[in-house]
Structure 1
Amino acid sequence: MTGIPLPTAKWISDGKEITPEGRLKIESAGPSTTLSITECQRGDTGEYIVTVSNPAGSKTAALHVTVLDLPGPPIGPINILEVTPDHMMIQWRAPKDDGGTPITNYVVEKKDVKKVPGLIEGMEYRIRIRATNKVGDSEPREVPETILAKDILVPPEVVVDVSCRDSVTVRAGQIISLITRVKGRPDPEITWTKDARALSQEKRLEMNNNYPVCELIISDSVRSDYGKYGIVAKNSSGQAQATILVNVKIKLDGTLVVRAGDSFAVEAIVKGKPQPDVKWTKDETTEEIKKGPRLQLETGADFSKLLITGARRTDSGKYVVTASNSVGTSSAKCRINVLDRPGPIRDLKKCETKRGVWSVHSNAVITNKAKVTRLIEGNEYIFRVRAENKMGPGPAVQSEAIVAGTQFSVPDAPEAPEVTKIGKEEMTVQWSEPDRDGGKPIIGYLLEKREEHAVRWSPVNKDPVPGTRFTVTGLLPLHDYQYRVKAVNEIGVGTPSKASRAITAKDAVGNPLPHTSLYALTEPPAPPTNLKVVDSTKSTITLSWTKPVSDGGAPLIGYVVEIRAQGSAKKGDDGWKRCNVAAQLIVCEFTVTSLDEKLVYEFRVSAQNQVGMSLPCNLEGAVIPREILGNEHCIEFVTRSVTLILMLAPCLGTNLWRMAAAISQTMLLKNVMWPEAIG
């Protein structure tokens, strides 16, 4: 641990500070601190956190310690699931404590359930189990009683679920679900029947036998699904059966689905006194439906029935029956949907014009668009689409010839993101949409982060987020982070934006506003000014600067000086390196050491407060480390277009002066001051 002044250390485990006692010993000497635990136990497993702090701040580090030991015994009771003359099926639960390392196997077998082969019928056995990890075997868990090796047979038993006991009534178009619970040993063979005839799997009918639950499901129920359904369970010990009566009703104010060519009837119960007059209409028209070759009407004392034979797609619609007498009027409606070709898209084919051969791209498209892949750029293609529903396929529609080529691109890079909310463990990052989306709508954005001066960027979100704001969590307090964002469309991921400025993960510091409980949030300070070189040798350069005009509302922690050798910038790394930690530099002067007189250097300095770093102040022009022989003096001359500087420096140990100047035209002397030493 390092810091000025020297930090003090504190050890924490399970949220409590560790005190040196018993097996625990803490030794802190100079820049190191050590926690020792003698004769460690499984209970010493956990996360240990060390926090070092001084008046300038604090840092934490965490370490997870795992103490390995023998696993605990398997958890009982041990269940006997199956007993036969030649094997037993036994089951247990894993130990509560795996000893800190995964269980590698059990003494009985490497699974939680194990068949024990090679038993002798009529013999009694005792069973025990041990768990094993890489440290060794646990204590055994033993079955408390002896077990007789013999086969257990149980005759079938069928119980109908309470939801469909006695009978089930559904409306046409709904799902019929018949649920039963079946027991027996061995597992019985299940047969479903309807009106004493065996059923088999088909498009609308599904049989699920997940013992003990056995279920028969009929989707899109129709009138003909009415009947008496039975289930028969049979094994070597016997058989059992149960029956369920199913009623299918066609009710007004509902929807009836029929096939094209079939006949359908809609019946309404009509009551009233005096006897009502009944009228049938279709859709929003007021024209009464009349009898015809395919249409029949029948009205009795308490009902009215509409029958249509040879159904067509044009018969689909809303049918309304209205009953009226001298007392009043009442109506009911029913929607009819006649299925016919075409339906949802199910078949897509392509043909390369040069070859003239059609190939099926997909026969499972359920939307009105499809992405055709594995095309050859530059080749010409024709596409053909056929619609298909459960009534069958429809006619094909063919496209014009089109050449495969790139039409769209990935989105442009957004502008550099900004951090709008700062905390010690999370930040809220916001960005704007890119100028171009590549011709395809933007699906979302991928945000990346890195610690300042790190080379690699790490993803923040796995899947694109649709908005332009995201809260990043799991940050390390007092670490500096930068962010960049990429836009995503269906073509791919765009180029990343420029990196945001570095922000320190720290709770925002605020000053209370007068007469309120609110706080005025602070911001990073303004950049320093007037950065210049005040001294130089062959291996050092001394810089000075002026403090920022604004501290951002919070006291300055200090300054950070950065250096970059010209030409050292690389892709993904701007080449800037820190020369110091902000808390170690609180004055406006700093000497950079260990420089190479053959290199050209650039410098910049930033101010830092509790919120974060300011923008940098760059030194104007690059400098080379060189020896200054004495105090140099500058005389500034101004022409109409340029400023010239005359440099005067004494040569140490002699009476001579060195002078350097650039003179290109007639000059006017401005603010000339001669040092007394020069006279």
Structure 2
Amino acid sequence: MATAKAVSYRSQEKHTSQTSQSFKTSTSTTKRKFKSSDEDFASITPPKLITADVSSSHISSQKQSSSSESSDTVRKKTSRAWKKEVGKTTLFGNDLQKLEEGLSRATNYMLMTTDRKALHQIAEERAQEAKDFIELCSARPASFDIPLRPHTVWERMAVKLACVVQGSPLPDAKWYKDGIQIRPSITPGKYRIQNKYGLHSLEIARCDLDDSGEYSITVSNAYGEATSYANVLVNSYEGTYAGADEEKFPTAMLETEADFAKVFLPSFPQELESYFLSCTFSSPLPKYQQNVQWFRNGMPLKESKWLQMEQTQQSAFLIFPSVHKEDEGLYTIRIPTLTGYKEHSAYVFVRDAEVSTAGVPGSPLDVKCHDVNKDYLFLSWSPPSTDGETNIIGYYVERCEAGTNQWLMCNDRPVKECKFPVGHLTPGHAYQFRVRAVNQRGMSHPSKVTKPVTMVDPKEADRTMVIPLDDMKTITVTKDELEAEVTVPLPPTNVHAAEKKDSYVVLCWDEPVPRGREPLTYLIEKSLHGSKSWQLANMDIPVHSPRFVVSDLAEGKQYSFRVRAENKHGISEPSLPSEPISLGKISAPLPPPKKVVAYRDTKTSAVVRWDKLKDADDCLGYYVYCCECGTNDWKTVNNKPVTSDR
């Protein structure tokens, strides 16, 4: 019996050894064949089964030796062996290759996605730049192709105002009546506003007499603004034609209303030459159309020495005996009609006059007189549009008495600023002035001569009283007659500098109080600051006004001034000295405007815009220059300074 059990035990050990050897062989074969994950999982299964068989043999032997262990304990041990074998499995072979290929594909996909996003962003930026460039090239300010036209209607009829607007980007439109914006929501059913592809219209339903008035539309975009006007006249059936006389109106209706037959076009006359604008009408002007008006830049013109107006039954003329740069601008002729007016406009550019010496500057313009007093005044002007071949050194001021042609120089050295005080003038006389610009090449043509200016005391009216009496009579009493008897005058007071420039100082003071009845003259004394030596500043020059220009001062030094009053009885004591005064600093040139942008308006014109200079009170305007691309030959566009930013 014992022998049989020993044989059985040896056979079981032999079977277990063979099974273990088979498991090792199958595992090595699996590694060499690079099986898939499923095959690897299947290859893991036989060892577990074998382990289970081994465990079963072990359990049988344990049952023979000890029957105390239960079947649950065997299951737990088998489960632990299973988990241990699963934890020992690793990836290799085909699984590793597939993992690397998947990682490579994912990396390539991510790189391609990133590149596509970057390329898409670059493409969008370039497309936006191209779009902005196209919009900038096609940008145009708001304007009217067809403006509003006046209408005359009967009561309880509808009227429709229409106009054609262009501009890029598309402009916004607002309608107004007598300057008040029209809001259809306030009066429902009365107004109807439409915009169909640039055709703007305003329809007024069932008109009444209150609807008569001036209607306007204002269109604007980022590049400009424009306004068109039209009158609407609502007639009553009772015979009142909007203020027109009932008897005269039908007669006027029978006359043929004149229109423009031949008009003037944009022109380019040369400075100092004679020139005229003419306009021919389609028929003789009726009486109600004979009030022809001329405008320059929207301002009505009047006849003068420099401007003449002539008119016949079928034509009108505007004559310039001598054209100057001040005459440059937009000219408009207007004729009245039964329903409003008709007008035509064109721009006149004034070219520089021919010069004897090449490279000299152009002539100054807009010479004006300010602060006129008994014996002095201030002149101001605008610089010329062209400096010539070199920079402008300064300006010379000339004067002559009205009615003569004897021009005298007012300053010994060039004035660098466009402003100059002219003194030593005779009270009661009339003067005219002109200005020349000078550079290293020579002197320019003189500017346009000012109108005659009479030297009077501006405070004279304040010293005169008019007392009304009965029977429409008056008595005029001057302040001088009310002054107390004064022999030797009192000294003036409040001596100070009203203006300081790099070449002169303007002194001001107050008259002595009481002033006395006798006329006063003044003596001005100067002294270096800190010195007690006084010398006369107005040598042999009588000063009749409480203001004097001192020009012979040294740069970098300070001066004190005092003033004495003089009449026929004697000379007063000197006033208190002024505070130390020195010449002003040389004004720095203005910086150039920024953000200059030009865009095409029509086939032959362009619009230029720029940013105005900030904190530049001395800026009188802007000059625009142009040149062909690839060249440096800059030419003046406007000979008259532009005060706007376009």
| Superposition TM-score tier, normalisation by shorter sequence | under 0.3
Instruction: With a CA cutoff of 8 Å and minimum separation of 6, indicate the structure with the bigger relative contact order.
Output: 2
TM-score, with length taken from structure 2: 0.20
Q: Which has the higher helix share?
A: 2
Query: Highest CA radius of gyration, 1 or 2?
Result: 2
Q: Which has the higher strand share?
A: 1
